[in-house]
Amino acid sequence: MDSIELLELKKEIKDLKQFISELSFESPRFEYTSEHINELAGAFAKARLGFEKIGANKKSFDKSFADFPYIISKVNDALASNGLAFYQYTTIEDDSSCMLVTSLIHSSGQFINSRVRLILSDTDKNIDRTLQINKRMQALALLGIWPLEDTLDDGGDAEYEAKIIGEMVGTEVSTKKSKSVITKEQYDMLIKELEGEPEIAKMIMKRYDITVLKDMPKESFIEDIERIRKIKLEKKNR
């Protein structure tokens, strides 16, 4: 290659680099953080020192816990006094899925976000329950807090709970996460079967080592539905 060809090649490379630099790439559709979070981080560190102790204000079938409004009431003053605002909202994606967005924003404009897909049911009551549960979980995660929880007396149901565990898991508990989880239709069916049966739902999550029912493995779904119905029938006949 002579000097003239080399110069032409260098010019072509330079022109190509210029062309690439001038291309307008689409920016990401969702930003999880602002470019800088130094001011937010400093303010948040101070705010955490002012968070009130979070105990429990509600009782479920097996424990006491802090619900979402109570948790937020314990941190709002500390956040606001340090120029921080916490808020949540839902969006509908192009594929019609519903996303919950959770944001912590500083007066400087710096922010951090999280978002999670919501699997919604067919009734307003269940939709609200799903929303409240996810709002609580995302708030706890983004704010880096966890309320104190006190285990309640089981009311003499320990023996029955052991029976449920036996029905659901047999002789051993699976701790392997499935790569294939249930579909939205299967999730809706599961929620209908488990309505009013929180103890059975708890056993399912314990069996599969999951924290939300939407992560239940797909491969054994039919067998699990049959087990649930059997347990419900036995419970009814107690």
Residue 88 belongs to some domain of the structure: yes
pLDDT at position 107 is: 95
Does residue 226 form part of some domain? Answer: yes
- The pLDDT of 6-25, averaged and rounded, is 68
Overall domain count for the chain: 2
Residue 22 has a pLDDT of 61
Domain boundary among 112, 143, 174: 143
- Note whether residue 26 is domain-resident: no
pLDDT tens figures, 53-72: 888 887 765 567 888 898 99
pLDDT in tens, 166-221: 444 443 444 445 568 888 888 888 888 888 888 888 888 888 888 788 888 888 88
Question: Both 115 and 84 in a single domain?
Answer: yes
- Runs of H (alpha helix) within the chain: 3-22, 38-49, 68-73, 76-81, 124-143, 158-169, 184-194, 198-208, 221-236
Cβ atoms within 10 Å, residue 186:
17
CA distance 224 to 150: 30
Closest C-alpha among 149, 163, 147, 171 to residue 199: 163
Residue 66 lies in a domain: yes
Is residue 167 packed enough to be buried (19+ CB in 10 Å), middle (13-18) or exposed (0-12)?
Answer: middle
Averaged confidence pLDDT in the chain: 79
Instruction: Using DSSP bridges, classify how beta strands 98-106 and 111-118 pair: parallel, antiparallel or unpaired.
Output: antiparallel
CB 199 within 8 Å of CB 62: yes
Whether residue 69 is found in the same domain as residue 100: yes
In the numeric block, the tokens 């479920």 are attached to 60
Do 47 and 135 sit in the same domain of this protein? yes
CA distance 218 to 224: 10
| Same domain, yes or no: 56 and 105 | yes
List the domain range (segments joined by +) for residue 230: 158-236
Spell out the residues 6+ positions from residue 237 whose beta carbon is closer than 8 angstroms to its own: none
